[in-house]
Structure 1
């Protein structure tokens, strides 16, 4: 091998910051699917610990988990954003439309900082997010795969004796809690007895992310191209430079749509409750990263095979131009829309 060919090969290899997490992720997913018995002891131990915890059985656990995950992940990316000016993708001011104009004025290493929201403002955001979800948590019975109707009835204050009493175990038929003095609200959720296999958890996690990505793609296109819906989405694009705090800059309707679509994606494939817990962590991480405004070496779009992930750079382009990059996490639906748009242009 000549020196030129060795240099070319080295140039085409991904950097260690990408190669290492790609190998870890690939090996973990492959072994979890092919040899689930390797993970059975860990899966059982983790789930047994969680299912015996009063906090995990609390009906508002997933809402609280989402808030905690978001707080931790967004704060990390916000600190990274303020400490890494050279990594910022979309440096522009509130009245600027071209990022290169802002860069030429301030220089790539001395850009203007976007206005970050005060801690007091963040508390009001949390309350706005949590309130409608906790109302649903406390009024509707939680229904999960592998939980008997008898256990669902008992958790909802209906008792477990006799037939199902018209209560379905299907999430497609929501059931209101039986409000009594003994059980005033839906405080506890009935959980499956056994842990899922690693094969089931990984498969359900991947499928739910793909389903969510497809569902939100169509909703997102509607938010941009249907005038009557555009008003719900405008707050999300009301900013100068995209930054991690834009992630939660949403109308109440958008927040609810995110949560309901994620729930649907999980429920339609009858995901185990432990899959739901893993989904929340991955889901929040992906949402914050695509809004981070940072071009990081270890971004998930770089760790995944080339062309799979949308990533922060493509989503920053969406926030800048508004008519590209509608899919939140992956690329395939946007490629299909681009092809459709090009066909329609030729036909017209």
Structure 2
């Protein structure tokens, strides 16, 4: 903990990262046409892949990204030099068995693949007549995808806007789960049933909460008519941010330090949420949490009564 605080007092590394990101933004504007050509090539190639055209692609992508991205916290745990960034000394990576990972994958995939099988997926840029033809078949096998790639500007806007809107959606859902004792015990308690916070807690969700999380993200993407390529990029970015929240390390290069004005929540705040429970409800950002704290500081009865449920979850977790 001391190391992270020292990093914040000596912001030279953070400033270097911010400068690097600024250079990337400038270069992306200067070489916009080159980047757009790359986006077009990637999209045209993806359209030739059978599994990308499958109705199950996004479910498969979500499972695959989660399994691959778990290599990140595993690698962090193997590097002893990074232990100084642990929020608490007790933080450690919990190794899962192959059977356990398969069970998690099946538990995630089955309900969403069921929906994929019967749902006509609608994407902006596809003619409505194509959707009508696909509705004639009860079982869906392929997605109707747009011919044209998104512009690079569209992709970046849709990605960032969808993340921001999802964060708003889930703030209110998350807050409600903590405000209602019945919802907390029925839906959310399992996510807080752990001795030590580590990355696998990211996916330690009840079926109802998992479906709610995915539908919230999907709704946010649909609000901005996100292109299927944007949705493809969204999945690993979204999962990496959630894993980072549950990893139990507060790295100086994390977005919570790099993004100014304390806009991002980060691992430390989410760790405090899991340990204390009465604050830090936003999964990605923090501005709504700051607003809520201001309301609480004015003695309005708006704070969560659920700390006792966190203690109960600790006592009864196995």
CA contact (8 A) 1:91 1:241 kept: no
Note the 1:55-204 alignment, pairs <5 A. Answer: 55-84=51-80, 85-92=83-90, 113=92, 116-154=95-133, 156=134, 158=136, 178-179=137-138, 185-204=139-158
- Partners of 1:12 and 1:78 lie apart in 2 by 28
State how far apart, in whole Å, the 2-side matches of 1:38 and 1:344 are. Answer: 55
The secondary structure found in structure 2 opposite 1:39 is: helix
Deviation at 1:114, TM superposition (A): 6.7
Offset, 1:117: 3.5
Decide whether aligned partners of structure 1 residues 298 and 345 sit closer, same or farther in structure 2, where only a CA change above 3 A counts.
Answer: same
Find the aligned partners of 1:248 and 1:222 in 2 and give their Cα distance: 20
> Residue by residue, what CA displacement relative to the aligned partner does 1:156-197 show, whole Å, maximum 9, x if unpaired?
253xxxxxxxxxxxxxxxxxxx22xxxxx2110011111111
- 2:250–2:267: 8 Å Cα contact kept in structure 1? yes
- Whether 1:314 aligns to 2:310 is no
Aligned counterparts of 2:301 and 2:215: Cα–Cα separation in 1: 37
Is the 8 Å Cα contact of residues 94 and 200 (structure 2) preserved in structure 1? no
Q: Tell me how far 1:42 sits from its aligned partner.
A: 0.8
What residue in structure 1 maps to residue 311 of structure 2? none
Q: 1:1-348 maps to which residues of 2 (within 5 A)?
A: 12-15=10-13, 18-29=14-25, 32=28, 36-84=32-80, 85-92=83-90, 113=92, 116-154=95-133, 156=134, 158=136, 178-179=137-138, 185-231=139-185, 232-345=187-300
CA deviations over 1:271-290 (Å, ceiling 9, x no partner)? 11111111111101001000
Pairwise CA distance, 1:228:
2.1
Whole-Å separation in 1 of the counterparts to 2:12 and 2:261: 11
Q: 2:239, 2:58 → 1: CA distance?
A: 12
- Residue pair 1:147, 1:192 contacting (<8 A) in 2 also: yes
Q: What TM-score, normalized by structure 2, do the two folds share? A: 0.85
How far the C-alpha of 1:75 sits from its partner, in A, is 2.6
Q: Name stretches of at least 5 consecutive residues in structure 1 with no aligned partner.
A: 1-10, 93-110, 159-177, 180-184
Alignment CA distance shift 1:296-1:324 (3 Å): same
Q: Distance in 2 between matches of 1:26 and 1:66?
A: 30
SS of structure 1 residue aligned to 2:124: coil
CA contact (8 A) 2:119 2:140 kept: yes
Residue 30 of structure 1: how far off its partner (Å)? 5.2
Residue 74 of structure 2 contacts residue 93 of structure 2 at CA under 8 Å; is this kept in 1? no
1:330–1:135: structure 2 CA closer, same or farther, 3 Å change rule?
Answer: same
- Tell me the distance in 2 between the aligned counterparts of 1:36 and 1:29: 10
Report the CA distance shift for 1:223/1:57 in structure 2 as closer, same or farther (over 3 A): same
Q: Do 1:33 and 1:199's aligned partners in 2 also have CA atoms closer than 8 Å?
A: no
Structure with max Cα Rg: 1
* Number of equivalenced pairs: 291
CA RMSD after TM alignment: 2.2
